[in-house]
């Protein structure tokens, strides 16, 4: 009788240990998967920010060029070159070839 009790106790302890070990492994696997998802999300975020940085650097380089300065002066400040005449089309928005009868 005593051997059976000891045998059952050992089996019960072994079963509990295996159950605890399995539960721990599954729990760790879930944590690892969540961490991997977060790492992928962060990598995507880093790539997006690097693209934005590259675009901003290109924009900075473009603003240092004389073409950009000239374009800005002409469009925003309405400046013209010496001896240049600027014509403004007042009928730009009107449709000149539309039949007035319609």
Question: Does residue 71 lie within any of the structural domains?
Answer: yes
* Count of the separate structural domains present in the chain: 1
Residue with tokens 């999300």: 41
Question: Does residue 96 lie within any of the structural domains?
Answer: no
Question: Does residue 14 lie within any of the structural domains?
Answer: yes
Question: Does residue 83 lie within any of the structural domains?
Answer: no
Question: Does residue 89 lie within any of the structural domains?
Answer: no
Q: What pLDDT band is residue 96 in, cutting at 50, 70 and 90?
A: low
Across residues 22-40, what is the average pLDDT?
97
* pLDDT surpasses 90 at 26: yes
How far apart, in whole angstroms, are the C-alpha atoms of residue 102 and residue 15? 92
Rounded (5°) CA angle 88-92-95: 150
How far apart, in whole angstroms, are the C-alpha atoms of residue 35 and residue 41? 10
Question: Does residue 97 lie within any of the structural domains?
Answer: no
Q: What is the pLDDT of residue 33?
A: 98
Q: What is the pLDDT of residue 85?
A: 81
Question: Does residue 85 lie within any of the structural domains?
Answer: no
User: What does the longest C-alpha to C-alpha distance in the chain come to?
Assistant: 118
Higher pLDDT pick, 95 / 36: 36
């Amino acid at each position: 009788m005593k051997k059976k009790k000891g045998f059952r106790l050992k089996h019960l302890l072994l079963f509990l240990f295996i159950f605890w070990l399995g539960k721990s492994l599954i729990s760790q696997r879930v944590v690892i998967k969540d961490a991997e998802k977060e790492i992928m999300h962060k990598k995507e975020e880093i790539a997006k920010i690097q693209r934005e940085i590259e675009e901003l650097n290109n924009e900075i380089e473009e603003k240092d060029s004389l073409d950009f300065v000239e374009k800005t002066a002409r469009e925003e400040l309405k400046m013209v070159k010496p001896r240049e005449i600027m014509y403004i089309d007042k009928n730009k928005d009107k449709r000149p070839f539309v039949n007035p009868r319609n």
